Structure 1
Amino acid sequence: MKYKIMVLDIDGTLTNSEKKITPKTHDALIDYQERGGKIAIASGRPTKGILPYAEKLDLKKYGGFIMAFNGGKIINCQSGETVFSANLPLKFLPEICDEVYKTNIGINTYEGDCLIAGNGVNEYTMVESNIIGLKIKEVEDFVSYVNFDINKCLLSGNPAEVVELEKVLSKRVGDKLGVFRSEPFFLEVVPKGIDKARSIDNLIKTLGIKTEECIACGDGFNDITMVEYAGLGVGMANANDKLKAVADFITSSNDEDGIAYVVEKFTK
């Protein structure tokens, strides 16, 4: 098999507009695994927000992987082992909050079954809660409350405000932390050097798989690095233009079983 691993984003890629894996895409990915291919699901979501899709695709049975928090944490679904984890240094939270509190943007992180929300709960915080299936726990003092290890902060708000905050935070902490948009209304703050491409590199080295034996499929801003990195970088028809510009191949949209098409065209 030329391509030994497929790395898949979730929203807008693996799932359709209803956030579901269609039967055709499901069957194609099961067939790929039956023939010896590995699947890694790479998402900005926390681990618990990815697990339902990992279970749907039987990643535990076939030895697949979850790459949560944009690659900040890698889990072997078969063994349950954490292969890699990078924590966001808590010492930077006061600086981040100092800028966030000047805006209407929410600051969020994850604890167990909860989405922790600071600076209020806005409609985009609700979007994240609905996507990942975690209830919201609003806290008054985000910095004091978050005294446990976290892999990232998610800043959620009006897209125009998010763009401006990205500029401010990039200037203030961009040399020490990763700051990037995953959606027009989501700004991710992660440990320096963490992105989906770095995560794939960490994973395939442990598996003895070469870069040219990897397919990466995505649609969003946070998928650009992995699409550039992979031996075959695939952009969905519904992807943003920046990602399409670096992709090796553009497949059909997430509502037209674009992933199933990639499996059929490149792995048979």
Structure 2
Amino acid sequence: MAYEVIALDLDGTLTNSQKVITEPTRRGLIELQKSGKTVVLASGRPINGIVYLAEELELSRYGGYTLSFNGARITRCSDGAIIRNQTLPPEVIRPIWEYAKRIPGLDLISYTDTEIFSGIQDNEFNQVEARNCRIDITPVEDFPSALDCPVNKMIVSGEPALLQTVAGPLQEAYRGRLSIYFSEPFYLEVMPLNVDKAAALDFLLKTMGLTSENLICCGDSYNDISMIEYAGLGVAMANAQPVVKKSADFITASNDEDGVLRVIEKYMMQT
């Protein structure tokens, strides 16, 4: 069966260590779209942290999509229409904030379309997110009150060893109400129930009249595992976390060696 769609994680996958798309990969993805294939950018970032990369790849011209907030929001690039938007139950925000405040070393962040709010104590891990998204961190005193709009996700951030001690209790407390999982060792994502990249891609493919057999997914981190396992061809980068590699059908070159380009040349652009 032909691969018609490729879904790409951003950090550590589409972009190199300098957080840019190399020119060979950019040209390759544009040529792929010219041939009628669809490119989807799938990230934990908010839409403002994705849109500039979508513009570099001309997704609006060729009918691509973005999955922001790990798939909680799906945007059609041709007209900017949001075709799916899943948000957290408002009543969970304050209890999770109060729980995180009681544990020294944790912060809780969330997003509007233009800001990242830090609800406890800004830390070095939040600054990684701010740089990747090109959005400033705004400290707020009353985190739940500051989030006066629908919230797609929150992140509990902190030292990996500390997060390991809080992940289990949070997951148990909100079992059946939220999806809580790691995207990085220092980020614990708090998501609407059953929201991940695979679920978003399944929804999107159905609107296109396609199935997972038509899909290639490339990623490197924990929050990419669901889509890598879902895809007809799941690809891990050479720089991926070991557990991600175990879930993949194929391991390509690293993000610093145009690994994505090698995938599309091998599987989607055969003559």
- Normalised by the shorter chain, which TM-score bucket? over 0.9
Q: 1:57 is matched with which residue?
A: 57
Aligned ranges 1:121-132 → 2 under 5 Å: 121-132=122-133
For 1:56, give the aligned amino acid.
E
For 2:223, the equivalent position in structure 1 comes to: 222
The match for 2:242 is: 241
Contact 1:12–1:218 (8 Å) recurs in 2: yes
Of stretches 70-79 and 154-163 in structure 1, the one that deviates more from structure 2 is 154-163
User: Is residue 55 of structure 2 the alignment partner of residue 28 of structure 1?
Assistant: no
Q: 2:46–2:113: 8 Å Cα contact kept in structure 1?
A: no
- Equivalent in the alignment of 2:96: 96
Q: 1:212 matched to which residue of 2? A: 213
Q: Give the Cα separation in 2 of the matches to 1:39 and 1:112.
A: 23
Q: How far is 1:148 from its partner?
A: 1.3
Counterpart in the other structure of 2:16: 16
TM superposition shift of 1:135: 1.1
Shift of 1:263: 0.7
Deviation at 1:175, TM superposition (A): 2.5
Stretches of structure 1 lacking an aligned partner (at least 5 in a row): none
**Aligned residue number for residue 169 of structure 1:** 170
State whether residues 7 and 216 of structure 2, in contact with CA within 8 Å, keep that contact through their aligned partners in structure 1: yes
Report what 2:85 is aligned to: 85
Deviations 1:180-219 (A, max 9, x none): 1101111100100000000000000001112101000000
Structure 1 match to 2:188: 187
What letter corresponds to residue 88 of structure 1 in structure 2? Answer: L
Aligned to 1:257: 258
Q: Distance in 2 between matches of 1:147 and 1:168?
A: 27
Q: Is the 1:90–1:147 Cα contact (8 Å) retained in structure 2? A: no
C-alpha distance in structure 2 between counterparts of 1:202 and 1:216, whole Å: 15
Is this contact kept in 2: 1:99–1:169, CA < 8 A?
no
Partners in 1 of 2:163 and 2:32 — Cα distance?
Answer: 39
CA–CA separation in structure 2 for the residues paired with 1:247 and 1:178: 22
Whole-angstrom distance in 2 between the partners of 1:72 and 1:83: 11
Q: CA deviation at 1:118?
A: 0.5
2:107–2:118 Cα contact (<8 Å) kept: yes
* TM-score (structure 1 length as normaliser): 0.98
Root mean square deviation of aligned Cα: 1.0
Alpha-carbon shift at residue 241 of structure 1 (Å): 1.1
> How far apart are the structure 2 equivalents of 1:106 and 1:127?
13
**Contact between 1:43 and 1:70, CA under 8 Å: does it hold in 2?**
yes
- How far apart are residue 157 of structure 1 and its match? 1.1
How far residue 126 of structure 1 moved from its aligned partner, in angstroms, is 1.2
Superposed displacement of residue 102, structure 1? 1.7
SS for the counterpart of 1:13 is coil
Cα distance between partner residues in 1 of 2:95 and 2:176: 13
Which residue in 2 is equivalent to 1:152?
Answer: 153
Q: Is the counterpart of residue 199 in structure 1 residue 188 in structure 2?
A: no
Aligned length: 268
SS in structure 2 at match of 1:256: coil
